[in-house]
Amino acid sequence: MERRDLLADAAIDVIATAGTRGLTHRAVDAAAGLPEGTSSYYFRTRAALLQACVDRLATDVVDRTAAAPGPEAPVATLVDRACAHLERVVGPDRPRLLARLELSLESTRRPELEAALVAAGARVRAAVAGSLARLGVADPESAAVDLVACLDGLAFDQVAGAGRTARDEAGRRRAVTAVVSAFTRTSPPTRRRA
Give me the amino acid identity at 154: L
Residue at 190 is within a domain: no
Residue at 81 is within a domain: yes
Residue at 155 is within a domain: yes
Structurally, how many domains does the chain consist of?
A: 1
Half-sphere exposure of residue 110, counting CA atoms within 13 Å on the CB side? Answer: 16
Per the structure, the complete domain to which residue 130 belongs is given by 47-183
Higher-pLDDT residue of 83, 163? 83
Q: How confident is the model at residue 159 (pLDDT cuts 50, 70, 90)?
A: confident
Distance of CA 85 to the CA centre of its chain: 9
For 162-191, write each residue's pLDDT tens digit. 666 677 889 889 988 998 888 876 544 444
For 2-31, write each residue's pLDDT tens digit. 999 999 999 999 999 999 999 999 999 999
Residue at 1 is within a domain: no
Half-sphere exposure of residue 17, counting CA atoms within 13 Å on the CB side? Answer: 9
Residue at 5 is within a domain: no
Q: In the predicted model, is pLDDT for residue 133 greater than 80?
A: yes
Residue at 74 is within a domain: yes
Contacts of 65 (CB under 8 A, 6+ apart): 81, 124, 127, 128, 130, 131
The CATH number of the domain holding residue 142 is 1.10.357.10
